[in-house]
């Protein structure tokens, strides 16, 4: 009888512990917590004749409140803040940040956002053809000389913010080391656009052909002596 009562006591204890664990899990799963996220800005409808040259922020920081279970449903890669900018004009523009545009799962509430406004700057777009200048470094070894350098294509089209495009009359290749070359060599190189809001219209590679020649040895004159 005592043994049966003891078994019953332990069984009741285990059931009580199980119930307590379930209630603890439910309590913690249903309690709301606060968490912060950085939401990338996504500009939509930028007019083709304009270039976005400056913005006061790259992300919107939001604070959300929700249960642990609800917060687990947030997919960071899908968080974004869309901004419709069709119809923008050159110059400054200010947009109010409306947190309701950010989609979050049910059970999650956005309680704050920062910044409250976004400032942007637009500039007219431009394009032009510029010369490609190879950037060579070093000298061929003794007995060899650099006879010619050919660039293909010799000119490229660039585009971007008008002021940045107009300041460029040429673009430079990445540095090409000539030291140690003893034969004609071709290099596929990248271009340096010098920063700013400028890009190449085409992504085709640039090839530089470096022609190396052997320096002919000077003939040695026979020594003439008086007979």
- State which residues form the domain around 170: 125-214
Question: Following DSSP, what letter does each residue of 131-157 receive, concatenated?
Answer: EEEEEEES-PPTTEEEEEEEEESSEEE
**b/e for 141-164, b at 16 or more Cβ within 10 A?**
eeebeeeeeebeeeebebbbbbeb
Looking at residue 30, its pLDDT comes to: 59
Residue showing tokens 């003893």: 182
Domains identified in the chain, total number: 2
Closest CA to 151 of 212, 214, 205: 205
Kindly state whether residue 219 falls inside one of the protein's structural domains.
Answer: no
Look up the CATH number of the domain holding residue 203: 2.170.120.40
Kindly state whether residue 172 falls inside one of the protein's structural domains.
Answer: yes
Distances, alpha carbon 33 to alpha carbons 28, 76, 79, 177, in Å: 10, 17, 19, 58
Same-domain status, 36 and 77: yes
Kindly state whether residue 205 falls inside one of the protein's structural domains.
Answer: yes
* Kind and range of the H or E run holding 7: helix 2-30
Kindly state whether residue 120 falls inside one of the protein's structural domains.
Answer: no
pLDDT tens, residue order, the chain (227 aa): 555 545 545 556 555 565 555 445 554 545 889 999 999 999 999 999 999 999 999 999 999 999 999 999 999 889 999 999 999 999 999 999 999 999 999 999 999 999 999 999 999 999 999 999 999 999 999 899 999 999 999 999 999 999 999 999 999 999 999 988 999 999 999 998 888 899 999 888 899 999 999 987 666 565 555 54
- Angle 135-136-137 from CA coordinates, rounded to 5°: 125
Q: Global pTM?
A: 0.70
Contact status, residue 171 vs residue 191, Cβ threshold 8 Å: yes
Closest CA to 121 of 152, 79, 148, 88: 88
The SS3 assignment for 165 reads: helix
């Amino acid at each position: 009888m005592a043994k049966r009562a003891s078994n019953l006591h332990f069984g009741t204890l285990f059931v009580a512990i199980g119930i307590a664990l379930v209630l603890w899990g439910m309590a913690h799963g249903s309690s709301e917590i606060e968490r912060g996220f950085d939401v990338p800005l996504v500009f939509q409808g930028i007019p083709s004749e304009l270039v976005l040259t400056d913005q006061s922020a790259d992300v919107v920081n939001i604070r959300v409140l929700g249960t642990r279970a609800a917060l687990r449903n947030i997919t960071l890669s899908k968080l974004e803040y869309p901004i419709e900018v069709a119809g923008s004009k050159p110059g400054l523009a200010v947009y109010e940040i409306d947190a309701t545009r950010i989609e979050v799962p049910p059970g999650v509430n956005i309680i704050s956002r920062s910044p409250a406004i976004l400032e942007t700057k637009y500039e007219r777009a431009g394009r032009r053809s510029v010369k490609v200048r190879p950037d060579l470094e070093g000298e061929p070894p003794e007995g060899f000389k650099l006879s010619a350098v050919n660039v293909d294509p010799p000119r490229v089209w660039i585009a971007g913010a008008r002021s940045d495009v107009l300041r460029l009359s040429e673009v430079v290749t990445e540095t090409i080391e000539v030291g140690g070359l003893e034969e004609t060599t071709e290099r596929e190189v990248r271009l340096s656009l010098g920063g700013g809001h400028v890009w190449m219209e085409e992504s085709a590679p640039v090839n530089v052909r470096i022609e190396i020649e052997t320096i002919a040895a000077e003939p040695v004159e026979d020594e003439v002596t008086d007979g």
